[in-house]
A and B are shown apart, each in its own frame.
Chain A
Amino acid sequence: MTRHHRHTALAVLATVSLTTLSLGGCAGGRYADTPLPTPPSSSATSSSATPSTCDPATATQTYQPLTSIPASASITDAGMRTILDRGRLIVGVSADTYLLGARDPLTNTLEGFDIDVAKAVAKRLFGDDTKITWRVISAADRIPLLQKGAVDLVARNMTMTCDRWQQIAFSSEYYHAGQKVLVARGSTAKTLEDLKGQRVCAPTKTTSLAKLQSISGVTVVTAENHTGCLVKFQQGQADAITGDDTVLAGLAAQDPYAVVTDAPAITDEPYGLGVNGDNVYFVRYVNAVLAQVESDGEWKQIYNRWLAPRLGKAPNPPVANYGRG
Chain B
Amino acid sequence: MTQIATATTATPVPPAAGSARATAAQTRAAARAHFFTGTPGRMRINAILASVISLAFGLTGFFALRALDGAVGRAGANTKQVVRVQQIYTDLLRADAATTNGFLQGGLEPAALRKTYDDAMARISTNIADAANAQPADGTALAALNDKVGTYATYVSQARTYNRQTLPVGAQYLTLASQQLRSDILPIVANLATANRDRAESELRAGSVAIVALVVGLLTLAVLGYIAWWLAHRTHRIVNIPLTAALVLVAGGLALIVSTMLTARSTMTSVRTGDFTSAVQLATARGAAYDAKANESLTLVRRGSGASYEEAYQKAIGTARTALTAARYPAGASPDLFGKLTAYDSAHVAIRRLDDAGNWNQAVSDATTTKDGAANALFDAFDTSSAGILDEKVTSAVDSLSRLQRPLFPWLVGLAGVLAAIAASRSMTRRIEEYR
| Chain A positions near chain B (C-beta within 8 angstroms) | 1-2, 5-6, 8-9, 12-13, 15-16, 19-20, 23-24, 26-27, 29-37, 39-40, 88, 90, 95-98, 102-108, 133-138, 141, 224-225, 227-228, 230-231, 234, 250-251, 254-255
Contacts and interface: CB of A to CB of B under 8 A. Distances in A.
A135 B132 CA distance: 45
A33 B290 CA distance: 28
A198 B176 CA distance: 23
Nearest to A232: B176
B135 interface: yes
Given A16-B56, A23-B63, 11 more contacts: A12-B49, A30-B137, A90-B358, A96-B168, A98-B169, A106-B166, A138-B305, A141-B305, A224-B175, A227-B172, A231-B169
Contacts of A15: 56, 216
Contacts of B105: 108
Interface stretch (B40-48, B246-254, B378-386, B428-436): B40-48
A30 B48 CA distance: 37
Nearest to B51: A9
Interface string B296-309: 00000011110000
Contacts of A98: 167-169
A35 B106 contact: no
B41 A2 contact: yes
A212 B305 CA distance: 28
B320 interface: no
Contacts of B64: 23
Contacts of A230: 169, 172
B106 A254 contact: no
Contact of B139 (A13, A33, A35): A33
Contacts of A137: 305
B304 to A, nearest CB: 4
B201 to A, nearest CB: 12
For the complex of A and B, 6 pairs with smallest distance between CB atoms: A108-B106, A133-B358, A135-B304, A16-B56, A37-B187, A23-B63
Contacts of A224: 175
Contacts of A26: 67, 209
A33, A40, A225, A251 pick with most chain B CB within 10 angstroms: A33
B408 to A, nearest CB: 17
A105 B167 CA distance: 7
Interface of B: 36-37, 41-42, 45-46, 48-49, 52-53, 55-56, 59-60, 63-64, 66-67, 70-71, 74, 103, 105-107, 135, 137-141, 144, 162-163, 166-173, 175-176, 183-184, 187-188, 190-192, 195-196, 199, 203, 209, 212, 216, 302-305, 358, 360, 364
Contacts of B140: 33-34, 36
Contact of A5 (B36, B71, B188, B191): B36
A36 B188 contact: yes
Nearest to B304: A135
Nearest to B46: A5
Contacts of B191: 34-37
A186 B404 CA distance: 70
Contacts of A13: 52, 56
Contacts of A33: 137-141
B168 to A, nearest CB: 4
Given A2-B45, A96-B172, A254-B162, A32 B107 contact: no
Contacts of A35: 141, 191, 195
Given A33-B140, A37-B191, A133-B360, A231 B49 contact: no
A136 B36 contact: no
A105 B169 contact: no
Given A12-B56, A30-B137, A104 B172 contact: no
A13 B54 CA distance: 11
A237 B71 CA distance: 48
B166 A19 contact: no
Contacts of A27: 63, 66-67, 70
Nearest to A108: B106
Contact of A231 (B173, B188, B364): B173
Given A34-B141, A107-B106, A134-B304, A96 B195 contact: no
8 contacts: A12-B56, A13-B56, A20-B60, A35-B141, A98-B169, A105-B103, A230-B172, A231-B173
Contacts of B55: 16
Given A228-B172, A254-B168, A136 B302 contact: yes
